[in-house]
Amino acid sequence: MAKDYRPQAKFQADSGIEWRDLVGQDIDQTDFKWASGYGDRLEIDLLDSSSVVEAIQTLKDLWAAGANSALESHWIRRLSSMALSGNLAITFLSVAKPTVWDDDFEIEIGCARQFFQKLADLKPAIFSGDLAEILEAQGRVLYLRGKGAPDGVFEEALRIRRSVAAVAPATLARKYKLAASLVWNGSYAVAAHKPAKALYFFDESLDILRSLIAEQYSPAFPLFALIQRNFRICLNDPSHVCDLNLALKVAETIVTLSRALVRVYLGCDAMLAAALHDLAFGFPEGRSLQQTNAAQESIDLYRTLANDDPYAYSLPFSDALYNFSCRLLATGQCEQALSVSLEETQNRRKLQDRDCLATCLDQLSCCFSAVGNIAAALNSAEDSVRLRRKLAEDDRSYQSESELACSLSNLSCCLSMVTSRSENTLHAAREAVSIQRGLARDIPAATFSLRFAVFLYNFSVALSVVGRHEEALRAAEEAMQIRTSSGDDGDCALSLSRLASCLRAVCRQDEAVRTVEKCLDITRRLACGHESYPPIRDEAQLAETLFALSFCFGADQASRAVAAVTDSVAIYRKLAYNGLATFQPPLAAALLQLSSLLSSTGQHAEALDVAVEAVQFGRGLSKDFFATSLYNLSLCLSTAGMKDEGVCPAQQCVEIRRELVKENGTWQFKEQLADALFNLSVHFSHLHSSRALASVREAVTVQCQLAEYIPGDKFNRRLADGLQNIAARALLVTEYEEALDSAEEAVNIMRKLVEENPILHNPGFVNILYTYANALCENDRFEEAFRALSESDELRRNIPSDSVFASSEASAAYMSTRARCIIGLGQHGEGLDCLRDAIKIYQEELADRASKVTQFDSFPWFLRNTFACASALGRNNAEVLDVTAVVVDLSRLLAGEHPTIFNRYLEEAQGFHASSLSTPARGSR
């Protein structure tokens, strides 16, 4: 978590207080005339502390003894003379250890309060101010000794000051005393963690100090510096400042008065720099028109001060640079933030403060990440962690350990942007969580919870990346428990978004939808304008939440998913096109999701347009993302009926994946290479079957290298699917032995998986059994093929049809395999009827939606089975000739839709039919 560096203003008064200005503390006009007339004849020895103590002691004794009124009047008159200096109580309090009543100063000051209260009752015009002075001193003693809340004492002193100011002439001294009392009340309110109350006292005191500073009344200057220092403490915890408008007014007044001081006195530039700093960074961006230039003016002042006096001002200058960089980054001004952070880093390296340098390096890494310089970001984050480890070893305090955890968490974020270092990401995130968990008893609860929730979030993300979804869910749930207690804020929404992603990953779809909708509700409220959060943060979080929501809907709610990600893209597009480079990667990811959803809902042209835009963004991002965008583009081209055009991006994707494997060699990149090769094989399937087979063979070879990295069931399922693909492609190029071996191995693997989880694996097993049956038929093992089909039929009865075959055409191809198997077993009539049923499905599909047909991936296997059935029945058989003639018509229709893909199959069908017509007759059935 970033620190709040707030530069401390330094101020030295040019002169002391002019006590003669304080003469006269009147309420009653008669007393005031007497007092003001007597004041000019004060003897200097009457202001001596020993004389003051003697007079107080004597009068105290007289009152205790019930002495005559003449002596009492004499000593009251003597004390009145002393009071005219305005310094009676101050002189008494300045004695190192006054012992008029008791050796314990707390008791002494309590008795002094009673004594001065009696004097004020007798002559309020003279002694009220001194009573207020004693009350303020008593309040300070109570606070410092922790003997109860002194606010009542301070407020009583303020009441007296107000009453004096209301009726007595408004001298500069009286104004000063009232302002000082207001400041004391405000300062105690700050110490008591009541910043909202303190603001009202500071606001009133500044109104008084304005006139004192205009009169160049020097005692007001250190009082003004005290207000500024305590106001800065209020801003350290802005969540507790209820009235931001009042706080902003105080900040602007402090800036105005600081400017007035700078114009009159040398050496006040630091005070103005600090005031501008508080105005610039103590409030959300855009709260004041003065904020626009305050940050830069503060930086410029501190830079000048640091150049003139590096020892005194290099640290506050660096602190100001840190806050300026944070503000620029939060508002999306990434390049400027980086420039400022680099200047701060340069200054920090000259200072002997490793802790601040480590924090600076963390901020620098965030800036580098935001502008896309991942290598530099990683270097800065690693430097910070090295410093933090050394500090933790030397210090062994919980603060050092906690800061190490923060730097590790930041390092995990940087590592997460390097795909090849997912294990390092997980290690750093886990260590951050482990360290922070061990500090639960040492760190204040609020700080601990805030940081721990962030670390758990990053840990959950890292676990998801390496496929450990159950563990990721547990981390997300723990983070959510912490956030729930903090209210519905932006951080809570972010944690809900992560929780929804984890729920989706473990197939708890309904819970994921409910979670994201709750998150969306919170985020929309924030985006409507929440003073505590920068607008860009709200917009980015809304975009992220909508993006997460788009993954949570099932097929029956695809339109909602499209709407959600469309809104996400619109927000990210606005942020990215405004020059905020940090939002280009999430925009590109949202474009990929939108493209995928549009394609799945049949909006192929729109999906293709979006996929092209994603590729354009991908060129400027990482190789990994560019490869992913090319993969998606190839799929969109294929589903849009442009399978030939899809070969180029699919091939380019494979080439980039090969480069990434060569450069990094991690199992994740190998897995992605295998996926790219499988995808490429699909694009080759209708054009160059041998190249398709070579591609899928390589994919399976790569897949076999991942056994130790991928969970067993997932690995075996992927391997079985790959082997089925080899079998299917091998059938098309007449590699029947390889097809049979691969299909048989796939069946054995899937059978074990089905035993463990039939609901999950039965649909895939049906497809593999179908391919296995085809391979058996090509090897004339019809009985085994029939058993495989029978087993497949049994499984299909309990599976929704749309989860087995993606289209009716696939079902038709399946039926053609059954027809071939039955004919191979000698049941010619039943087999021919089955083949006709398969043909009928194709006819109905083409007649119903010919203009919408995009691909018939199963048609090559259907065609091969039809030829085999015809050959087995007798190619010149009249009924068979009718069948092959219809198949020619089907091929012609498909070729009319997609000539590049289906012309070759039309030629094969025409050639087979023509050859059948010229074959010698074998007789009819």
- Sequence-distant (≥ 6) Cβ neighbours of residue 729 within 8 angstroms: 681, 685, 689, 692, 693, 696
Burial class (CB in 10 A: 0-12, 13-18, 19+), 797: exposed
CA distance 496 to 487: 12
- What's residue 451's pLDDT? 80
Burial class (CB in 10 A: 0-12, 13-18, 19+), 852: exposed
Number of helices and strands in the chain (H, E)? 40, 0
Residue 806 has pLDDT above 60, yes or no: no
Most confidently predicted of 346-360, 407-421, 533-547: 346-360
Q: How many CB atoms lie within 10 A of CB 703?
A: 23
**Residue 372 CA to its chain's centroid (Å):** 17
- What's residue 101's pLDDT? 64
More confident residue, 218 or 491: 218
More confident residue, 370 or 885: 885
Residue 98 has pLDDT above 80, yes or no: no
CA distance 444 to 172: 45
Please state the rounded mean pLDDT for residues 16-22.
32
Q: What is the pLDDT of residues 493-543, one digit of tens each?
A: 778 888 888 888 888 878 888 887 787 777 777 666 544 444 556 677 778
Q: Note whether 398 and 443 are within 8 A (CB).
A: yes
925 confidence band (pLDDT: 50, 70, 90): very low
Please state the rounded mean pLDDT for residues 828-856.
74
- What's residue 16's pLDDT? 32
> What pTM was computed for the model?
0.62
Q: What is the pLDDT of residues 708-726, one digit of tens each?
A: 877 778 888 989 999 999 9
Please state the rounded mean pLDDT for residues 742-766.
88
- What's residue 206's pLDDT? 93
Q: What is the pLDDT of residues 51-83, one digit of tens each?
A: 778 888 888 888 888 766 778 888 888 888 777
Most confidently predicted of 291-295, 314-318, 500-504, 529-533: 314-318
Strand ranges inside 823-908, DSSP E: none
Please state the rounded mean pLDDT for residues 18-28.
34
- Cα–Cα distances (Å) from 320 to 259, 304, 337, 345, 520, in that order, read 19, 13, 12, 12, 36
> Dihedral through CA 409, CA 414, CA 418, CA 421, nearest 10?
-30
Burial class (CB in 10 A: 0-12, 13-18, 19+), 477: middle
- Could you write out the DSSP letters of every residue in 437-494? HHTTTTS-HHHHHHHHHHHHHHHHHHHHHTT-HHHHHHHHHHHHHHHHTT-SSHHHHH
Q: Note whether 319 and 4 are within 8 A (CB).
A: no
The radius of gyration of the chain from alpha carbons, rounded to an integer in Å, stands at 42
- Could you write out the DSSP letters of every residue in 500-542? HHHHHHTT-HHHHHHHHHHHHHHHHHHHTT-TTS-HHHHHHHH
Q: What is the pLDDT of residues 166-180, one digit of tens each?
A: 766 667 877 888 898
CA distance 55 to 309: 50
What does DSSP assign to residue 734? Answer: T
- Cα–Cα distances (Å) from 33 to 29, 88, 544, 687, in that order, read 6, 19, 75, 114
- What's residue 363's pLDDT? 93
Most confidently predicted of 330-339, 650-659, 866-875: 650-659
638's torsion region: left (phi>0), alpha (psi -120 to 50) or beta?
A: alpha
Residue 393 has pLDDT above 80, yes or no: yes
- What's residue 287's pLDDT? 60
Please state the rounded mean pLDDT for residues 261-285.
85
912 confidence band (pLDDT: 50, 70, 90): confident
CA distance 21 to 197: 31
CA distance 571 to 587: 9
Residue 2 has pLDDT above 50, yes or no: no
9 confidence band (pLDDT: 50, 70, 90): very low
CA distance 106 to 641: 92
359 confidence band (pLDDT: 50, 70, 90): very high
Burial class (CB in 10 A: 0-12, 13-18, 19+), 780: exposed
Helix, strand and coil percent figures for the chain, each rounded to 5: 80, 0, 20
Q: Note whether 206 and 250 are within 8 A (CB).
A: yes
- Cα–Cα distances (Å) from 814 to 770, 861, 866, 918, in that order, read 7, 9, 11, 30
* Helix H or strand E segment including 155: helix 151-167
What tokens were used for 89? Answer: 């109580």
14 confidence band (pLDDT: 50, 70, 90): very low
1 confidence band (pLDDT: 50, 70, 90): very low
- Sequence-distant (≥ 6) Cβ neighbours of residue 683 within 8 angstroms: 634, 638, 643, 646, 647, 650, 692
More confident residue, 877 or 294: 294
Please state the rounded mean pLDDT for residues 905-917.
83
Please state the rounded mean pLDDT for residues 189-201.
86
CA distance 766 to 799: 10
CA distance 790 to 586: 48
- What's residue 144's pLDDT? 79
Please state the rounded mean pLDDT for residues 814-828.
88
More confident residue, 533 or 840: 840
Burial readout 855-867 (b: 16 or more C-beta within 10 A, e: otherwise):
bbbbbbbbbbbbb
Q: Which long-range contacts (CB under 8 A, 24 or more apart) does 97-106 make?
A: 98/53, 100/53, 100/56, 100/57, 100/60, 101/60, 105/141, 106/141, 106/142, 106/145, 106/147
Q: Note whether 27 and 163 are within 8 A (CB).
A: yes
- What's residue 443's pLDDT? 65
Residue 112 has pLDDT above 70, yes or no: yes
- What's residue 856's pLDDT? 67
